[in-house]
Amino acid sequence: MADREARNILSIRGMCKSFGRNRVLDHINFDVREGTIMGLMGENGAGKSTMMKCLFGTYQKDEGTILLDGKEVNFSGPKDALENGVAMVHQELNQCLERNVLDNLFLGRYPKNSMGIVDENRMRNEASDLFRKLNMTVNLTVPMKTMSVSARQMVEIAKAISYNAKLIVLDEPTSSLTVREVAKLFEMMRNLKAQGISLVYISHKMDEIFEICDQVSVLRDGKLVLTRRTADTNMNELIAAMVGRTLDNRFPPVDNTPGDVVLSVQHLSTKYEPNLKDISFDVREGEIFGLYGLVGAGRSELLETMFGVRTRAAGRVYYKGRLMNFNSSKDAMDHGFAMITEERKATGLFLEGDLTFNTTITNLTHYMSGVALSRDKMVKATANQINIMHTKCMGPSDSITALSGGNQQKVIFGKWLERDPSVFLMDEPTRGIDVGAKYEIYELIIKMAKMGKAIIVVSSEMPEILGITNRIGVMSNGRLAGIVNTAQTNQEELLTLSTKYL
């Protein structure tokens, strides 16, 4: 077995880290045995990413020691860490989207030939070898921006592996991967482990932790509160450790009563891949309508087309009998539509702004005092949203980049709530959000439904789509394969429908 008397490849002792007055890590002790996979869990803002960034040299710890393979290390930055056997795949990808895969792979370490010129052939060969070994097909010369989030994530993982690291940290790597890609990633991880490489695996997904990790540690409010072999623990124990109490149900009761049809989508089609083919469905007032399907089935495209950011080839959308064929997101927003996008960093947030800016930006006319914007009103509204969403932060003037990934997502929610939309389109609204906060978001979705909003939720998580919707439309290869009543369906039926047109 992997964890027989193995040495610790990593030993963190008494590590502390604060940002200003905010103590994020409080005397952490954390060990990873050689050739094992250590899971790391905890609520949004618990300190998981910060702890690993202190190891990686992105942040400097305030106190404590880090032993790598028995020797004390103190990396001055990521480059230092990479050169000494530690690699990290970050939660929020930081790639040069304008450059191609090769450039991103070799950034900062271009191989040179004897003339001191960048050796492109060598780059190409090494990269091809790498992807072949990982059993991945990637076009090396296309710009990253043309690739899907999941493909970009796989490139990032390949890059970490290419450094021949002894220890690889993966910070929520599967949040945008398909089931098949996750399986591939796990196979890769098992291979690495078999070679004696150690991994730290950060995830909010319980089933993944139990599937792939030998051990698991839980952080709560900057303290390491539990470490167990995965074989010796269970989901309830981990949840209790994370949230400090037991959660009896993962989903609140869906007790809204949908009214008349308000939203009607008729024969919607698009031209470009993956194209929508003749999609028709209705959503009632106060209804939560789920959209299930495999990645690539066209769910995001459907929301984007309804929201006016993707071009229609044919079809119509009506709300309360009025035509809503939008040609821009502004048009959609002006008519009471809201959309939470899948890729929060790219399309949901202004990273230079503070919480107040990000919460109020889509709604500025609300905060006028006479002819001028009232910062006071904006801050008040933001404080209110922080309250409703239980966003973990110091206050409305925090910069958005100071928030943990999951808490950034809550800010996006708060921003849209401020606009009080009548139609709310949500693309994977709880991606990257911890179990406790997920429950709060579910409650919020149900509350909005009870206020009469029409809600469409795209989710790839089967329990979620079955747990919080009234009806579910299943998409398959750009078509609507069927619509089912949530109370009368099951996982099998959804899966069968999702493969109907493959």
Ligand X SMILES: Nc1ncnc2c1ncn2[C@@H]1O[C@H](COP(=O)(O)OP(=O)(O)OP(=O)(O)O)[C@@H](O)[C@H]1O
User: For ligand X, how many residues bind (rule: CB under 6 A)?
Assistant: 21
Quick note: the x/- pattern for ligand X over 36-55, rule CB under 6 A, is: ------x-xxxxxxx-----
Q: Which does 42 bind (CB under 5 to 8 A by kind): Mg ion, ligand X, none?
A: ligand X
In the block, residue with structure tokens 């370490």: 109
Beta strands in 207-313 (DSSP E): 215-220, 223-229, 261-269, 279-284, 288-293
Instruction: Tell the smallest beta-carbon distance from residue 172 to ligand X (Å).
Output: 7
Choose between 409 and 476: whose C-beta lies nearer to ligand X.
409
Cβ atoms < 10 Å from Cβ of 76:
9
Beta strands in 351-501 (DSSP E): 368-369, 372-373, 423-427, 454-458, 471-476, 479-485
Please say whether the beta carbons of 340 and 419 come within 8 A: no
Q: Which does 177 bind (CB under 5 to 8 A by kind): Mg ion, ligand X, none?
A: none
Q: Which of residues 198-217 bind ligand X (CB under 6 A)?
A: none
Q: Reduce the DSSP state of residue 492 to 3 states and report it.
A: helix
Q: Which of residues 87-106 bind ligand X (CB under 6 A)?
A: 91
Long-range contacts formed by 489-497: CB under 8 A, 24+ apart: 490/466, 491/462, 491/466, 494/292, 494/462, 494/465, 494/466, 497/292
478 binds ligand X (CB under 6 A): no
Instruction: Tell the smallest beta-carbon distance from residue 86 to ligand X (Å).
Output: 17
Q: Which of residues 425-454 bind ligand X (CB under 6 A)?
A: 434
Q: Which does 392 bind (CB under 5 to 8 A by kind): Mg ion, ligand X, none?
A: ligand X
Choose between 382 and 469: whose C-beta lies nearer to ligand X.
382
Q: Which does 156 bind (CB under 5 to 8 A by kind): Mg ion, ligand X, none?
A: none
CB neighbour list of residue 216: distance below 8 Å, 6 or more residues apart: 38, 39, 40, 41, 209, 226, 227, 228, 230, 233, 238
d(CA 279, CA 332): 19
Instruction: Tell the smallest beta-carbon distance from residue 43 to ligand X (Å).
Output: 7
Instruction: Tell the smallest beta-carbon distance from residue 284 to ligand X (Å).
Output: 34
Instruction: Tell the smallest beta-carbon distance from residue 477 to Mg ion (Å).
Output: 34
Q: Which one among 36, 49, 174, 215 touches Mg ion, defined by CB under 5 A?
A: 49
Distances (CA, A) of 195 to 87, 188, 213, 215, 481: 16, 11, 16, 18, 44
Q: Which of residues 366-405 bind ligand X (CB under 6 A)?
A: 392-393, 402-405
d(CA 444, CA 453): 12
| Residue ranges in contact with Mg ion by CB under 5 A | 49, 91, 405
Q: Which residues contact ligand X (rule: CB under 6 A)?
A: 19, 22, 24, 42, 44-50, 91, 392-393, 402-407, 434
